[in-house]
Amino acid sequence: MESALEPRLKESTHLGLTFGMMQALSRRLDYPRVWQHQMLARGLVPKRLKQALGEADIVLSDLPYCPPIPGPWREKPWYLISHNLEHKLLEQGSARQRRFANWMRGVEGAAPQTYTDILACAEDDQTFFRAHDVRSQLRLPIVRCGVDPRLYCFSPGLRPHMRAELGLRDEDWVLVFSGSGFAPNVEAFQEIKEFCRAEAEFLAQSRVYILVVGSVSSDAYHRGALIVTGPVPEVLPYFAASDAGINLVTRGSGSNVKLFEYLAARLPVISTVFGVRGTELSTDADYLPCSRNDLREVIQRFIGNDRVFWRTKAESVWNRHKRSCDIQDLVNDAISVLPAFGS
């Protein structure tokens, strides 16, 4: 299957029966994509991929599960895009996934000798790869999990429209949590549900709602202060309806894209300290730190100021950090130090 993504950019997907069945089976059995790594490392790939490799000037491997493929194209500049440290995610996963954590640590530890260079997503993975760069030749530029800010601008009329659709009034405060079904998001969602149950009276009296958006929940429902949308085609309308972005994630690797989305949508950020890893945000100056234990007090602090105050502050935070959130700027800065992209 081939589709156009942008001008001069197209995506070609070709799993084939074997790859498709193995991927479906491994997901069902909760196995990491070790099989994919083994097949690609042996050159067992579709002919169309080999053709594309032959035509390419530069090759990017998305995640260490996609190692360089043997063949004449191996001498081309070959870069790894590190979304996070996969071995850390496996260490935090199910018992079945934890069995492969040491294997993945070995794969990632060998990556500095395997690839021309590595694009890290945060300081943690950059530090890991640098410690394993025995040649000390890699530049290891960071490409944070930025966003396209143009996608997070909305018309003034979208906010009242969405709030009316959600059954909210002008005086209601809305904190949005967006996320996929990724395990750390699911755990944070569970914390949100427990908080809404335990603090139902406080939230009702304060007219505070927590809006959970995305496939972190397969179901949509509204129970007291908790509004859950389930999977949605886009998050922007729900950001427009909200007064702040909240992130209760306490484990994982890399950084949380939701933080960059909140900033680009000009939402004040309420987050665990762990949740802002991989960003340049500073406590209090740029976001309100919270934990499950003090979330009520932090919410009280937040609603103690009016919306004009928080909108002004969010705009100021965005202006300070927009260059570290704009994916175009981040990519341009990263590839500017990689010789192959300048030739």
Q: Is residue 179 located within the same domain as residue 97?
A: no
Residue 13: pLDDT over 80: no
pLDDT for position 263: 96
Task: Tell me the average pLDDT across 290-294.
Answer: 93
Token output for 93 = 């996963």
Q: Is residue 173 located within the same domain as residue 298?
A: yes
Q: Is residue 119 located within the same domain as residue 187?
A: no
Residue 103: pLDDT over 90: yes
Q: Is residue 318 located within the same domain as residue 236?
A: yes
Q: What is the CATH number of the domain that holds 282?
A: 3.40.50.2000
pLDDT for position 29: 87
Q: Give the predicted TM-score (pTM) of the model.
A: 0.84
Q: Is residue 314 located within the same domain as residue 169?
A: yes
Domain residues for the domain of 40 are 2-146+328-342
Q: Is residue 195 located within the same domain as residue 105?
A: no
Token output for 173 = 């405060």
Q: Is residue 242 located within the same domain as residue 113?
A: no
15 — pLDDT class (breaks 50, 70, 90): low
pLDDT mean across residues, the chain? 92
Residue 20: pLDDT over 90: no
Residue 31: pLDDT over 80: yes
Q: Is residue 186 located within the same domain as residue 137?
A: no
Our count of domains for the chain comes to 2
Task: Tell me the average pLDDT across 34-61.
Answer: 92
